[in-house]
């Protein structure tokens, strides 16, 4: 029963409202909601070029701060550097407005576990990051495997709802007979997170461990992120195509798109341009390998010969941006098309509606503030990698962010959380301007965490009983955790009560807000707001925006504030004298 939500996969405006991929699926219209209402950016066959923030339709200052923020994590954060170095790439449309290397690609030759310090190479042997430094992508590799699977679904070689055992009969052992291709792509198969395949002596015995693995629960009843899902998908792809995964990657993705710095098992000649990873030794690593540099870091992928569905792809920031641009274009880049537009829609569709907080398309994670920061929306797609890598794509603003860091260099225990990813995503989100609804400026709440910002109107005489507030409202917050509230006081601000209101997006029906609050994603468009105000001879009215300490959204904007009665206008922000009486704490006038 828990799986029914995942089976109801739909997306608005797919060709005629119905599409079948590999004979597996039919689509109907989504219920009207903010996520469905925002169509993906229609980039055609846009290709990438370097340009300015202005060329990209971005604000330059937040991009400068993005670099400054990232450089701060080269220092102890808090106890050790989060990464030895990184390559940052950000853009919008066809313009890469930021492409910046920081720190070192190769710094440490070893890790000293006694003193918890890195043993550095001599200065003349260390290698700084460069724009084209190649990284071990770790789990970002899963996106490539997922794209290859969706290509085969398009071609009819796979069916999304077909049992994996129909392609790999031995997979049906140990209670996995009902696991489908979709379950693998959405991490709802029941597989546990991983098993140490590297302990098995032969390739065949490693595969047997997967085939014999018993799920932790019935498929479709829980979300559990597992490398085994994508390794299993690799076995399926190799069985149905007769080609190994590395050949599929080259033939179907990297060669058509000109991604010449992306592959499994990079040759030895690439090593000087590859970021080093970990001094891999037991007990923190499953294998004793010493400094891993130019070979895949993940132990299971390494034991599988470097080619695995869950890890093993090496790439640089530009190539990942090309992949991201291809998906934001709807599957095409320049003259090449690797996916149908409807297939990209499918990959960016939440199949895990039964598991709130674990939104997931086919291969792509969706709406995850923990690394997407303020770029996160119900349509934002991406993935991270254990080595310190990430890709975030926001179709609603046509923007993309690549953060590639070597955060396990010299040892995996030095990194914690995703603070650099969040900081970069927050800055790119802020770089996308929000134009005022009317005039030159609007009130902006800011994007600070652990804060309360208030925007208060002067006391007004609403004793006639017919006063109404009208304004324009724009909000994008961390759902439930960060809230924008409209409140009124009749006792000079000693106590405050919520003021219910209604909002309406362009072309939409009014939506009641009986609690006097909004939270989450508004579709990143201006809404008109109206609220009946309580009668009082000296009514104080304020907006209060509160955030928690973890993550923030793009913030909130209020514009064109006006309070009127049947007898006239009590307050109009367009009048300079009235505007001067607004009291703002934490809110600032903003042109974007």
Shortest CA distance to 51 belongs to which of 94, 110, 109? 94
Mean pLDDT, residues 131-159 taken together: 98
- Judge whether residue 4 has pLDDT over 80: no
**pLDDT score, position 509:** 95
pLDDT band at 33 (very low <50, low <70, confident <90, very high): very low
Lowest mean pLDDT among 8-17, 556-565, 573-582: 8-17
Under 8 Å between Cβ of 264 and 249: yes
**pLDDT score, position 566:** 86
* Distance in angstroms (rounded) separating the CA atoms of residues 492 and 480: 29
* 3-state SS, residue 485: strand
Under 8 Å between Cβ of 186 and 160: no
Residue pLDDT, tens place only, 490-542: 999 999 999 999 999 999 999 999 999 999 999 999 999 999 999 999 999 99
**pLDDT score, position 35:** 31
Shortest CA distance to 387 belongs to which of 216, 41, 140, 125? 140
**pLDDT score, position 213:** 96
Mean pLDDT, residues 320-349 taken together: 97
Residue pLDDT, tens place only, 451-463: 999 999 999 999 9
**pLDDT score, position 44:** 64
Burial class (CB in 10 A: 0-12, 13-18, 19+), 32: exposed
Residue pLDDT, tens place only, 195-229: 999 999 999 999 999 999 999 999 999 999 999 99
Predicted TM-score of the model (pTM): 0.92
Q: Taking all residues of the chain, what is their mean pLDDT, rounded to a whole number?
A: 92
- Judge whether residue 37 has pLDDT over 50: no
Shortest CA distance to 315 belongs to which of 149, 147, 132? 132
pLDDT band at 464 (very low <50, low <70, confident <90, very high): confident
Instruction: Write the DSSP assignment of 23-75 as a string of letters.
Output: T-----PPPS-HHHHSPPP--TT---EE--TTTTT--HHHHHHHHHHHHHTTS
Shortest CA distance to 365 belongs to which of 222, 354, 377, 309? 377
């Amino acid at each position: 029963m828990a799986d029914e939500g995942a089976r109801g996969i739909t997306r608005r405006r797919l060709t005629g409202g119905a599409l079948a991929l590999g004979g597996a699926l039919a689509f109907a219209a989504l219920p009207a909601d903010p996520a469905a209402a925002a169509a993906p950016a229609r980039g055609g066959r846009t290709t990438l070029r370097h340009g300015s923030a202005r060329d990209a339709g971005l604000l330059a200052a937040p991009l400068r701060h993005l670099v400054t923020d990232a450089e701060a994590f080269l220092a102890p954060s808090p106890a050790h550097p989060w990464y030895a170095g990184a390559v940052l790439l950000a853009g919008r449309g066809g313009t890469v407005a930021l492409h910046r290397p920081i720190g070192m690609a190769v710094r440490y030759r070893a890790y000293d576990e006694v003193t918890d310090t890195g043993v550095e190479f001599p200065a003349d042997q260390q290698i700084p990051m460069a724009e084209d430094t190649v990284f071990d992508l770790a789990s970002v590799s899963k996106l490539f495997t997922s794209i290859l699977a969706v290509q085969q679904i398009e071609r009819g070689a796979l069916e999304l709802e077909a049992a994996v055992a129909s392609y790999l009969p031995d997979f049906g052992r140990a209670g996995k007979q009902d696991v489908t291709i979709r379950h693998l792509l959405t991490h709802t198969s029941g597989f546990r997170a991983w098993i140490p395949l590297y302990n098995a002596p032969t390739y065949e015995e490693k595969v047997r461990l997967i085939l014999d693995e018993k799920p932790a629960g019935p498929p479709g009843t829980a979300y559990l992120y597992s490398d085994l899902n994508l390794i299993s998908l690799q076995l399926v792809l190799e069985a149905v195509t007769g080609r190994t995964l590395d050949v599929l990657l080259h033939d179907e993705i990297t060669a058509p798109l000109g991604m010449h710095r992306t592959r499994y098992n990079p040759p030895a000649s690439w090593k000087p341009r590859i970021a080093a990873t970990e001094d891999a030794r037991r007990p923190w690593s499953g294998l004793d390998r010493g400094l891993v540099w130019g070979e895949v870091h993940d132990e299971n992928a390494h034991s599988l010969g470097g080619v695995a569905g869950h890890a093993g792809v090496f790439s640089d920031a530009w190539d990942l941006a090309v992949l991201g641009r291809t998906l934001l274009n709807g599957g095409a880049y320049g003259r090449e098309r690797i996916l149908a537009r409807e297939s990209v829609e499918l990959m960016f569709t939440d199949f895990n509606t039964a598991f709130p907080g674990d939104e997931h398309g086919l291969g792509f994670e969706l709406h995850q503030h923990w690394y997407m920061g303020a770029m996160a929306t119900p349509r934002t797609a991406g993935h991270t990698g254990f080595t310190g890598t990430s890709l975030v794509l926001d179709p609603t603003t046509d923007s993309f962010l690549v953060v590639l860091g070597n955060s396990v260099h010299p040892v995996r225990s030095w990194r914690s959380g995703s603070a650099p990813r969040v900081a970069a995503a927050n800055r790119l989100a802020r770089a996308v301007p929000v134009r005022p609804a009317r005039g030159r400026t609007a009130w902006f709440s800011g994007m600070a965490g652990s804060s309360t910002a208030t925007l208060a109107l002067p006391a007004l005489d609403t004793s006639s009983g017919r006063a109404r507030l009208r304004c324009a409202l724009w909000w994008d917050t961390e759902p439930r955790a960060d809230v924008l509230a409209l409140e009124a006081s009749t006792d000079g601000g000693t106590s405050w009560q919520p003021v219910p209101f209604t909002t309406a997006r362009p072309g939409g029906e009014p939506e009641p807000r009986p609690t006097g609050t909004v939270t989450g994603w508004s579709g990143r468009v201006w809404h008109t707001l109206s609220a009946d105000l309580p009668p009082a001879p000296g009514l104080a009215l304020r907006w209060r925006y509160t955030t928690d300490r973890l993550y923030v959204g793009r913030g909130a904007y209020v514009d064109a504030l006006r309070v009127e009665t049947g007898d006239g206008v009590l307050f109009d922000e367009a009048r300079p004298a009235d505007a001067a009486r607004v009291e703002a704490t934490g809110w600032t006038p903003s042109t974007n």
